[in-house]
Structure 1
Amino acid sequence: MGAVLGKVETGAVQPPSRPWLLVVAGRPGSGKTTLATGLASTTRACYLRVDAVETALGRFRNDVGADGYAVIHELAAFNLLLGSNVIVDAVSPVPEARAGWRSTAQAVGATLIVIETSLTDEAEHRRRVENRTPDIPGHRVPTWQDVQHDGWVPWDVERDGARTVIATVDDSAALSTALMLVHKR
């Protein structure tokens, strides 16, 4: 006969708390990936990066368009339905992209947390963009000129919803601020 390893208790199973979808948005080179990966490591949430999907799609065709975002929305929804918390790393430069995150969270009953990374020191922003190297095989990182003409539409709370702007000059301070948001929800 085998040994009994533990006692099984019967009774009501506590449902998991409502999962959260945390979107880290912002201009290229503003610290999104650094913040998002730090959050994912700390919280153990599922991490989804639009750049990775767009790079993979780009291996098969030149114009990826919004398809990378569509794929990430589906992956986020699937993981949220499993009860996993999800962190998305995506520029989200236009109102339609921002509205998509609200729709995804609402569709699956997840709490939405949106962070916009901000790097107001233009010289530091430019330095980061110009010194950036691809961390995904085949990924093309934007140039400073690309960032200056990337079609970023300034955030409007009425149109785009609430978000918390986090300064990213100091990576550890940015991470601490973001973690406070997660723990407050």
Structure 2
Amino acid sequence: MAAENLKLGRIVIADCVNPVPASRAAWRQCALQTSARLVEIELVCSEAVLHRQRVESRPPDIHGLKLPSWNDVVSWAYEPWDREHLVLDTAGGSLDDLLERAEAYVRDKMASWQDGPF
């Protein structure tokens, strides 16, 4: 669905867990195949107690969807990123601050696109 929307020239924001390089590479490949620009932002929560509380209190936004448990979350394999990206720690800033930093990062990336390809 993302690729189809990118082909139509639409902006796509993918909110997803990408804990391993293969899943991140798939999004990069999608952008490449559709000649779309890609901006990568990683959200983390450095405070385990807060992260757990968020995981355990999150309501499903799709009827019948089984959300991961805290044990599921901490058991997932995670591999560090191998590319430039912005990391935002949701434990250390207000929503407004995080949004401002994300918007500034996207604006900077867009300005750099004037200098050449991806």
Same fold (TM > 0.5): yes
Structure 1 unmatched runs, 5+: 1-74
Look up the SS of the partner of 1:141 in the other structure. coil
Cα-Cα RMSD: 1.3
Q: Does 1:176 align with 2:116?
A: no
Structure 1 Cα separation of the partners of residues 26 and 73 of structure 2: 22
Q: Does 1:141 align with 2:63?
A: no
Shift of 1:115: 0.5
The one-letter code of the counterpart of 2:73 is V
Structure 2 unmatched runs, 5+: 111-118
In terms of mean alpha carbon deviation, does 121-130 or 163-172 score higher?
A: 163-172
Structure 2 Cα separation of the partners of residues 146 and 90 of structure 1: 15
- Number of corresponding residues: 107
Aligned residue for 2:6? Answer: 80
| Identity over aligned pairs, percent | 38
Shift of 1:100: 0.6
What is the aligned counterpart of 1:131 among 43, 57, 60?
Answer: 57
Q: Does 1:110 align with 2:32?
A: no
Where does 1:1-185 land on structure 2 (aligned, <5 Å)?
75-153=1-79, 155-157=80-82, 161-169=83-91, 170-184=94-108, 185=110
Look up the SS of the partner of 2:39 in the other structure. strand
Report the TM-score, using the length of structure 1 for normalisation. 0.55
The one-letter code of the counterpart of 2:22 is E
**Which is strand-richer, 1 or 2?**
1
Look up the SS of the partner of 2:63 in the other structure. coil
Shift of 1:86: 0.7
Structure 2 Cα separation of the partners of residues 166 and 140 of structure 1: 26
Report the TM-score, using the length of structure 2 for normalisation. 0.83
Q: Which runs of 4+ in 1 moved over 3 A?
A: none
